[in-house]
Structure 1
């Protein structure tokens, strides 16, 4: 496993973790300037063209471009984010920012999400730069603010500097984890899309008054409770699109089990992936924030409930509002839109997807490669909205199921197997060479 490219990548990953660019969703957090400085030093003398962009004080993204030598070759952009989510230090058994290595694993916040891929992307880009370039232009982007949905990172680039790098062909987090198939065959994933956001705040109103005299008062509390119960009873329709069907079929269940899972009746058959299967098979609604009242002796005249709604490709804001209004018929409500972003998906009949698939099959001979979608969000949605394609890509050892990899995201004692760092490094290096082509 230990070779110069791997050792350099591991050292960079440790530095990125130790910089502790924690994004708590406030504008002054993150301070990705630390990771931008580390990455700029990493590229020094390589021949890559470096640009820095500061969207707000300390919120620095870095772009390293290796110009292509073949005008007919396609460009490739590697989108790695440099921020990480907060930690509950009391729940960690190791220092979350020490990048400690124990028994073949590196521990630290961001080790999996997504600093290991970011370090790999930088390493293969520097390798290409030192070699004098490839056929197509290769660009690495160390993006700020992904964990807060990119307002000071990828979204900011799209609005203020759309020319900073190509959005035509993009790779980012994550992928390459394996499915626990019923027959023991190997199947592993590439993310081709992600669900959208249709966040809502539901308002109700009632009578104010003194808490000692509630007689015949119209209760906002009662109304919001009815709203919550009605929304909990919504049963969104299970999709029958090819991505969901292909995901379930990859498990190689018996026919009856497969049919039941496809109908959304046997998610438990997916084992550790039951919640993920539920999430990607239909629109999902999570009731997450409830507010009403201030003083215990005052009847509140206003209450509201916030919903984290995630949509599938093809589902619109109008569809979501119609569903909510039908469920809440007879209750006087106001529906406020919060963050709204349509779901995005890229095709599998595309040269970049085919390159990813070919590399994974080289690493895992005989494996089935399964396109799937992410239940959460990533910077790849900006590439898709810009008319490009975006795929979530990595490579994990066959023992690492998709459920096991998901379990590391935002977790206490987050860790990455060094074996997976090596596999993903080899995978990215092979994809870059294959897709960009040799220098001319």
Structure 2
């Protein structure tokens, strides 16, 4: 099935609608709620708005959402992840100011774009340290062992070298794992200047900053302040979302693992904090256990697989769609169906 959203997230929506329609008239040990919402990345509406305005419609004990469940075929079998948390999202904006003048005599003005050059250089050079405390550490360690790169435990000194070896096989997978384990800053938008012949008196840069679960807003503020120290600029956050985590010692986690192993014997399931944002964070902030789990077997290199999401030639095979349906239906039956 080809088309925008085939992987992210219309396939899961179709699977959940099918399962819900088949379960809704059965005797259940509890309530089963189907919520189809949008705007999970920016967070202005969808789940966030529902929880604020009409929470009783979707308040629950457990949530299964997008964000995990990808199966990687390694040298030692299938490895699947389950998203138990996600990195914090702190988008921020940097402003540099200058003095306007005629563009033909640049020395009479102060160029705000030139001042932004140093900001861009420092952000581009920023390298966050690997965090062993993140839940994705176990996923990374298991992946490297199953690919035959690692025999003992993984440490912060060697993780980069091992992931670089993985990149020789699948750059997309290695880079994805790297970003799960550390703080990242990515310049995403820049604008400055008002006319071709006027020295720009203001420049604005937007940065997508994401952090592992061990970071707080205060930590991010301190790191950015130190990074931009001695530069004549100001910065402020335009979106803030603290990292979130759900426990793994729950009946739902057990049902997910049991169902997966029934369909893929000897597979491994490890927790992760995926690179993007989901609206599971709003549930977790209210004490609700939320897991990202759409079981899919990655077909081909992860590099090519992930580039399809929001990209060209997005598609999902019928076999993968049915695999997702069968595993998730098993999960729901085990977890909530009256026996």
- The match for 2:7 is 112
Structure 2: distance between partners of 1:396 and 1:428: 11
* 2:157 is the alignment partner of 1:264: no
The 3 A distance-change label for structure 1 pair 362 and 262 is farther
CA contact under 8 A between 1:192 and 1:372: conserved in structure 2? Answer: yes
Structure 1: distance between partners of 2:157 and 2:323: 32
Q: Deviations over 1:261-300 (max 9, x none)?
A: 8533443333231221121111110011111111121111
TM-score by length of 2: 0.90
Q: Which of 22, 28, 44 is equivalent to 1:134?
A: 28
- The match for 1:168 is 61
The 3 A distance-change label for structure 1 pair 257 and 314 is closer
User: By how many angstroms is 1:166 displaced?
Assistant: 2.4
User: By how many angstroms is 1:234 displaced?
Assistant: 1.7
SS at match of 2:130: coil
User: By how many angstroms is 1:242 displaced?
Assistant: 5.2
Q: Which of 64, 85, 89 is equivalent to 1:193?
A: 85
* 2:47 is the alignment partner of 1:154: yes
| CA RMSD in angstroms, aligned pairs only | 2.2
Structure 1: distance between partners of 2:20 and 2:104: 69
Q: Which runs of 5+ in 1 are unaligned?
A: 1-105
Q: Deviations over 1:54-91 (max 9, x none)?
A: xxxxxxxxxxxxxxxxxxxxxxxxxxxxxxxxxxxxxx
- The match for 2:127 is 235
CA contact under 8 A between 1:177 and 1:400: conserved in structure 2? Answer: no
Q: Which of 362, 371, 376 is equivalent to 2:262?
A: 362
Larger displacement relative to structure 2 (168-177 or 355-364): 168-177
Structure 2: distance between partners of 1:174 and 1:359: 18
Q: Deviations over 1:226-250 (max 9, x none)?
A: 1111222222121012523211221
Superposed, which structure 2 residues align to 1:23-422 within 5 Å? 106-131=1-26, 133-143=27-37, 145-146=38-39, 149-181=42-74, 183-215=75-107, 217-241=109-133, 243-251=135-143, 252=145, 253-255=149-151, 259=155, 263-270=159-166, 271=170, 272-397=172-297, 399=299, 403=303, 405-422=305-322
CA contact under 8 A between 1:167 and 1:386: conserved in structure 2? Answer: no
User: By how many angstroms is 1:179 displaced?
Assistant: 2.7
Structure 2: distance between partners of 1:391 and 1:257: 26
TM-score by length of 1: 0.70
Q: Which runs of 5+ in 2 are unaligned?
A: none
Q: Which has the higher contact order (CA 8 A, sep 6+)?
A: 2
The 3 A distance-change label for structure 1 pair 156 and 196 is same
The 3 A distance-change label for structure 1 pair 403 and 298 is closer
**Paired positions, count:** 331
Structure 2: distance between partners of 1:413 and 1:118: 19
Q: Deviations over 1:9-53 (max 9, x none)?
A: xxxxxxxxxxxxxxxxxxxxxxxxxxxxxxxxxxxxxxxxxxxxx
Structure 2: distance between partners of 1:261 and 1:358: 35
The 3 A distance-change label for structure 1 pair 332 and 174 is closer
CA contact under 8 A between 2:134 and 2:181: conserved in structure 1? Answer: no
User: By how many angstroms is 1:403 displaced?
Assistant: 4.8
User: By how many angstroms is 1:405 displaced?
Assistant: 4.3
